């Protein structure tokens, strides 16, 4: 059973993106008005923004990898459990008479009339 890995949307992400865009517009406006000394400060701010974005992307990638690994482990455990249960069902069927248990065979074996009202 494959489980698709879907990341949850982050409601704060849109707000952060709007704030980032507003800051970039303000920086660009200041850059047009400034002299060379201020431009160095502005470039430092731009670099800081890039560094923050890079760290954020690394964090998202790490969380995605952790989520993928968790899903993989769950899938392995589920597969193992399915195998165990299938083996247990087969053993129980062999103990009864080697036939597969169906609703009809259970009715016959135990004298039940599940589909009829008494």
pLDDT tens-digit profile, the chain (118 residues): 455 555 666 667 778 788 888 888 888 888 788 777 777 888 888 898 888 889 988 998 999 999 999 999 999 999 999 988 888 888 877 665 555 666 666 666 665 555 554 4
Distance in angstroms (rounded) separating the CA atoms of residues 20 and 105: 68
Contacts of 67 (CB under 8 A, 6+ apart): 5, 7
């Amino acid at each position: 059973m494959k489980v698709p890995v879907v990341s949850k949307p982050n409601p704060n992400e849109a707000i952060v993106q709007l704030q980032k865009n507003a800051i970039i517009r303000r920086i660009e406006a200041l850059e047009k008005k400034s002299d060379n000394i201020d431009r160095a400060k502005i470039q430092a701010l731009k670099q800081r923004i890039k560094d923050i974005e890079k760290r954020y992307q690394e964090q998202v990638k790490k969380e995605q990898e952790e989520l993928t690994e968790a899903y993989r482990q769950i899938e392995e455990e589920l597969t193992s459990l399915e195998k165990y249960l299938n083996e247990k069902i087969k053993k129980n069927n062999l103990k009864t008479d080697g036939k597969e248990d169906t609703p009809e065979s259970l009715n016959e074996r135990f004298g039940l009339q599940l589909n009829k009202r008494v």
